[in-house]
Amino acid sequence: MKIGALKETFDGEARVAITPSSAAHLKKLGYDPYVESGAGARAGFSDAAYQAAGVTVVPGAADLIRDTDIVVKVRPPSEAEIAQMRRGQTVISYFYPSQNSELLEAAREQGVTAIAMDMVPRISRAQKMDALSSMANIAGYRAVIEAANNFGRFFTGQVTAAGKVPPAKVLIVGAGVAGLAAIGAATSLGAQVYAFDVRPEVAEQIESMGAEFVYLDFAEAQTDGATTGGYAAPSSPEFREAQLKKFRELAPEMDIVITTALIPGRDAPILWTADMVESMKTGSVIVDLAAERGGNCELTVPDERFVTDNGVVIIGYTDFPSRMGAQASELYGNNIRHMMTDLTPGKDGQVVQNMEDDVIRGSTVTFDGDVTWPPPPPKVA
């Protein structure tokens, strides 16, 4: 079968779903890899680099859709792209099915099999194709780089002939995949890092990375127990009050605040309020990785960077992985080829849509003329 990557059309998107190196793996699985001309340009992969890796480069999106059996993308396909696909063709990309019911319906009507990379079950076996994690890892790292670039001082402490410089104090709110990556990047730059999460089980991970876990003055345990399957659930009002009280104490001391707190299926909780921003020092930086879901900081403007009246920089970019297009494409391309490995048990370039397989079932959102989302819960963890 032929598998091809479309050029992303979303404004500013630099990622591509097949790289020259992932194409080599796809060939080993028996597939003929294709890309649309220019698809990798913004990630640093020229048409010539693809051709050198044995990839067929076709001039336009319509050619790619017509000539391939499996179309791969990063951003969800447009309805216009779906309309060009044929019955039995497969599209693999982010899909956000809960927010894209019309797109889901369009794919169903067209008889297209849609595999959503954002729906890969978060079980151990599927980690290699977990694009949410690979992209969150990049976002966490990049958040620290953006913060450092906007902070007019060192992250590391120094004592030199020119004077003594204290280390920057960095607070990471939310220690999931992105938060842990941010902790790693900030500690490696020499900052003094503090981190908080509602899931107490991450305290050990935070501390093993050289950061300090922020404990609350809360009568109960560190958490109100509100977690579901390893994810956070909304906190009780009392817990939230204790959390905000602690953050109010920390705000005047922190140079950098990176927020990553999310609760599946909901808007991001507001955890860094306007009065906390007001109490921060001039030159401090907030990077809000939850901006796409409304933001953890009350003042965040999605997709914007601005400076408050008291001189605090607030960054609400929503395209952190795309800001590292080469790295993000490399990791996403790997996620895709691992998905293809599971879809190709015979390594013969033929997709087997095994709906008994938890990972394939969980990720498939339309199949055989049906909407197959939401899936039943996975049988194994």
Give yes or no for residue 136 binding ligand NAD (CB under 6 A): yes
Catalytic positions, written as ranges = 122, 127, 130, 133, 231
Per-residue x/- track, 243-262, ligand NAD (CB under 6 A): -----------------xxx
Q: How far is the CB of 77 from ligand NAD (least distance, A)?
A: 24
Among 54, 166, 225, 264, binds ligand NAD (CB under 6 A): 264
Give yes or no for residue 177 binding ligand NAD (CB under 6 A): yes
Q: How far is the CB of 180 from ligand NAD (least distance, A)?
A: 8
Q: How far is the CB of 365 from ligand NAD (least distance, A)?
A: 19
Q: Which of residues 88-127 bind ligand NAD (CB under 6 A)?
A: 122-124, 126-127
Contact indicator for 85, 71 with CB cutoff of 8 Å: yes
Give yes or no for residue 174 binding ligand NAD (CB under 6 A): yes
Residue 216 or 365: the one with the smaller Cβ distance to ligand NAD is 216
Residue 71 or 289: the one with the smaller Cβ distance to ligand NAD is 289
Contact indicator for 195, 183 with CB cutoff of 8 Å: yes
Give yes or no for residue 196 binding ligand NAD (CB under 6 A): yes
Give yes or no for residue 176 binding ligand NAD (CB under 6 A): yes
Among 90, 150, 192, 235, binds ligand NAD (CB under 6 A): 235
**Residue number of the CB atom closest to ligand NAD:** 176
Q: How far is the CB of 205 from ligand NAD (least distance, A)?
A: 9
Which chain residues interact with ligand NAD by CB under 6 A? 122-124, 126-127, 130, 132-133, 136, 173-179, 196-199, 230-232, 235, 260-264, 269, 271
